[in-house]
Amino acid sequence: MRVKGKGAAAEKFRKLIDRSAEPSRSLEARYTPRYTITLPNLYGLGCVAYWLLTGHLVFEEGSSTATILAHVQNTPVAPSERCGFAVPASLERLTLACLAKSPADRPANAEAFSQLLADCVDAGSWTREAAELWWRAHLPQGTEPRGADGELRASASTAAITTL
């Protein structure tokens, strides 16, 4: 992909494109230990964590180019501010650490991430019922489970909750 334009933003975008193509240069390079768990993957994991916590993308811009530039240039809004409810502080810090602009500020590798996640003692536990409530609130419109008659279906966990 050729990036046109001058200035710092265009240069950052060019470097981002060059870096993102590096692991796909060869199958050997892609499957060597150096490439299996890389810092960009931890950034992506931070994006997924952000969405799971907030129900929103990290940056919701008007175009894919604007979104990429936002990832390069902008600081994300804290998940607790974005979703309107309390997010455990340690989990929010870990998510934002994965989204740090400088790779040196992100967890060093998957093992470090795993340890930081295990240290999120204020996060509590996650039950099937809590997960279902979250998904019902954040499921993209039109993807709700429906029966043959078009009516919304309750999952087994919802049915169990309503019979208690």
Identify whether residues 46 and 65 lie together within a single domain: yes
Q: Is residue 11 in a domain?
A: no
Identify whether residues 119 and 129 lie together within a single domain: no
Which of 95, 91, 82 lies closest to 54, judged by CA?
82
Identify whether residues 129 and 110 lie together within a single domain: no
pLDDT in tens, 125-139: 777 887 777 777 777
Q: Is residue 59 in a domain?
A: yes
Q: 57: helix, coil or strand?
A: coil
pLDDT in tens, 50-97: 998 888 999 999 999 999 999 999 999 999 998 877 888 999 999 999
Which of 113, 77, 72 lies closest to 94, judged by CA?
113
Identify whether residues 110 and 138 lie together within a single domain: no
What's this model's pTM, rounded to 2 decimal places?
0.59
Q: Decide which of 81 and 152 is more confident.
A: 81
Q: 157: helix, coil or strand?
A: helix
Q: Is residue 12 in a domain?
A: no
Q: Is residue 84 in a domain?
A: yes
pLDDT for position 103: 87
CB count within 10 Å of CB 95 equals 25
Query: What CATH number corresponds to the domain at position 89?
Result: 1.10.510.10
Identify whether residues 65 and 55 lie together within a single domain: yes
